[in-house]
Amino acid sequence: MPGLGEEAGEALVDHPDIRKIAFTGSGVRGKRIMQRATESMKRVTLELGGKGPLIICDDADMEKAVNIASFMGYLNSGQFCAAPTRLIVQDSVHDEFVEKMVAKANAMKPGYWKDEETTRGPIVSKKQMETILDYIEIGKNEGAEVAAGGKRLDRPGYFVEPTLFINANNDMRSVREEIFGPVLSVLKFSELDEALEIANNSNYGLSGGVFTEDMRKANRVALEMQQGNVNINTYFSLWVDTPFGGFKESGIGRELSENGLNNYLETKAVLVDCN
């Protein structure tokens, strides 16, 4: 059924013959869908927002961590719900990590697909671009420092520079709220307990990860990080047989794998008297 959400989406949710709704989008819309679906007791699965924490320990493979954090963080110009937007970096390697991330951000070439040097595309709409720029101003007003980017590109189209905030903390709106744009924040930690506290202090829980050569640290993060997907020395390494979905306000249910199929099935018990 083609059409905008107010037409097609609400018609699908309200229709009495439709028994299952799967939605990918914002938390605001997801909550509205859940409310409307209760009228006919539809099954609902939701894949909503994220504010992915990625912990970088001092024993990490720094080049690999920077390459993956920058690639996945700015993927689709940040229009990616599972993006690692909260980079939680151990203080002893903080400056090195930031320096390398700034170089990566500055080397990116936003543009249209037909431009040969393009490495990142535009923002989906003028409204979304303005939202992203508003969040950048909010971050600066909150005390975060722009280490890279921070502006709209001076060219036709809806382009925002790959942006990196430093001196950020978990109390800032720019750190806590999903921006859905090319804006990453670096937060410092000293001990792993502190890193996990920062990572879990969020309303979201879609995807996160850790870079470390110590598998004891990695296993602890995998156990304690409150994310539907936890990545060790990689990020968003997703396969068709791997369940994908979030904790908290990141959604309900799972996509892919047997877990995803089960969302579309009902369990039926058949009892027979053989006498």
- Would you call 274 a catalytic residue per the annotation? no
Known active-site residue 142: no
Q: How far apart are CA 21 and CA 115, in angstroms?
A: 39
Which of 6, 7, 39, 47 is the catalytic position?
A: 47
Q: In the sheet that 145-148 helps form, which strands lie side by side, from edge to edge?
A: 145-148, 163-166, 183-189, 86-90, 53-56, 207-211, 229-232
The DSSP string of 22-69 is: EEES-HHHHHHHHHHHTTTT-EEEEE-----EEEE-TTS-HHHHHHHH
- From the list 6, 57, 81, 161, the catalytic residue is 81
Backbone angle region of 44, left / alpha / beta, with phi > 0 → left and psi within -120 to 50 → alpha:
beta
Active site residues: 47, 81
